[in-house]
């Protein structure tokens, strides 16, 4: 259990961070969280406090920190070179593995981050269709590009399909090329696709948006409506790829898009992402096939980096072993059940939302099917829940548990005890 009293090491490092980093952080989690190391399903901070880790690097450490097989693969490549800015065999093998696993993947192009992959995917369908507008869904996260930062987490709710910029510095003209629909609303999405079919370059969606699973028929309706008009459907699987199942959300939900983006797990903890899709669409990365006018330039110094590719290859090899997903599912389901059981003894309204691989508690008495349900939930209670878990040695993001395949029975028992403590305390405070 961590010492909740601020100690010298954290104080000193945070002061140094504030001197050189805006807000004293990298922009991800609070600056007072300064981690030193991770092993399997746990991490330690600079004061030596130990936590069961449900942050897991915001998802990439799907097989756990410092997995010995992944480490060995990385060490072997380190002795041969760290980057080449040229095609390498690990990257080719990883592309082959992705094409074998992911239903829509006929060709693959690597990048270094999920932001890049999503940005290129949207640009790719514009090149393919010769049109500009992209339809996305309110609350959907597609990285940090200007177009992606439209109605990701708006604090001002606008009428659909008008987008709301989430950041300063985004040009007004960006709004003109984006349409926004409510997630899980079949009628609204199909109506927007039909009404704007002549202007749409593509539709991009997280098949499981943040924590919210698709309602029955929602993804199928998107697939049918886009196919009817020849509009590419993009699944953003940066998070869900190789997480919901080995073949990602496409396997889990049985719906195949035209293009998908991948990240997190495929780099095994190193910077790597990918755009994968139909050969005729991916052809726009190949000038010899499409000519100068339709060629889409994409260059990245670290794209397909051999160390990241080696780590990704070994990670995917581990994930496809028998029983890998069954064990992780048991972990996630046990914690979800514990949250439900212990908070049901309180008077606090709540919903446990998500999939066994990533989920959280949302403090509301309303069904959670879209962004606005989360927007209107009690975020102060969620912050209190996170605080109480952390006091008991459980680390998670502000709004998500990420399950690692490395979490063991001791991690589960520790987490369930922390959940019970949080429910007891919050129940008395209610």
Residues involved in catalysis: 141, 236, 264
384-398: b (≥16 Cβ within 10 Å) or e: bbbebbbbbbbbbbe
Pick from 94, 108, 125: nearest CA to 316: 94
* DSSP state letters, 82-104: S--SS--HHHHHHHHHHHHH-TT
Pick from 265, 189, 195: nearest CA to 233: 189
Contact between 240 and 206 (Cβ < 8 Å):
yes
Place of tokens 């196919």: 227
DSSP three-state, residue 390:
helix
Contact between 54 and 394 (Cβ < 8 Å):
yes
Contact between 284 and 294 (Cβ < 8 Å):
yes
CA-to-CA dists, residue 55 to 38, 216, 386, angstroms: 11, 29, 12
Beta bridge partners of 111: 273
Place of tokens 């910029």: 165
Place of tokens 């981690």: 35
171 CB-near residues (< 8 Å, 6+ apart)? 146
Contact between 34 and 13 (Cβ < 8 Å):
yes
What is the DSSP code (8-state) at residue 175?
G
CA-to-CA dists, residue 102 to 133, 235, 251, 267, 409, angstroms: 26, 11, 8, 16, 31
């Amino acid at each position: 259990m961590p010492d909740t009293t601020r100690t010298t090491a954290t104080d000193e490092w945070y002061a140094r961070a504030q001197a050189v980093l805006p807000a004293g952080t990298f922009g991800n989690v609070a600056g007072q969280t300064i981690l030193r190391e991770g092993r399997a399903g746990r991490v330690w901070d600079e004061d030596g406090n130990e936590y069961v880790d449900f942050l897991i690097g915001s998802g990439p450490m799907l097989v756990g920190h410092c997995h010995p097989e992944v480490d060995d693969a990385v060490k072997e490549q380190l002795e041969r070179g760290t980057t080449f800015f040229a095609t390498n065999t690990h990257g080719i093998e990883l592309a082959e593995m992705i094409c074998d696993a992911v239903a829509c993947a006929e060709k693959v192009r690597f990048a270094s981050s999920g932001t890049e992959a999503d940005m290129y995917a949207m640009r790719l369908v514009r090149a393919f269709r010769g049109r500009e507008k992209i339809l996305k869904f309110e609350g959907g996260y597609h990285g940090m590009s200007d177009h992606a930062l439209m109605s990701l987490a708006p604090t001002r709710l606008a009428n659909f399909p008008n987008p709301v910029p989430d950041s300063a510095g985004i040009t007004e003209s960006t709004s003109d090329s984006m349409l926004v629909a409510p997630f899980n609303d079949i009628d609204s999405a199909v109506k927007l696709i039909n009404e704007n079919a002549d202007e749409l370059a593509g539709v991009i969606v997280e098949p499981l948006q943040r924590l919210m699973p698709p309602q029955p028929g929602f993804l199928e309706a998107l697939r049918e409506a886009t196919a009817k008009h020849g509009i590419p459907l993009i699944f953003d699987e940066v998070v869900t790829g190789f997480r919901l199942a080995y073949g990602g959300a496409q396997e889990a939900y049985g719906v195949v898009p035209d293009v998908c983006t991948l990240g997190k797990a495929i780099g095994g903890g190193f910077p790597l992402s990918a755009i994968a899709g139909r050969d005729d669409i991916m052809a726009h990365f190949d000038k010899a096939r499409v000519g100068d006018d339709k060629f889409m330039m994409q260059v990245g110094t670290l794209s397909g980096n051999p160390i990241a590719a080696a780590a990704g290859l070994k990670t995917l090899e581990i994930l496809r072993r028998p029983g890998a997903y069954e064990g992780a599912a048991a972990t996630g389901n046990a914690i979800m059940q514990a949250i439900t059981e212990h908070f049901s003894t309180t008077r606090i309204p709540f919903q446990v939302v998500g999939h066994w691989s990533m989920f959280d508690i949302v403090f509301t008495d309303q069904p959670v099917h879209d962004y606005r349900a989360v927007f209107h939930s009690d975020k102060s209670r969620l912050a209190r829940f996170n605080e109480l878990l952390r006091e008991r040695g459980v680390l998670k993001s502000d709004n998500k548990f990420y399950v690692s395949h490395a979490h063991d029975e001791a991690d589960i028992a520790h987490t369930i005890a922390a959940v019970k403590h949080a429910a007891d305390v919050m129940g008395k405070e209610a």
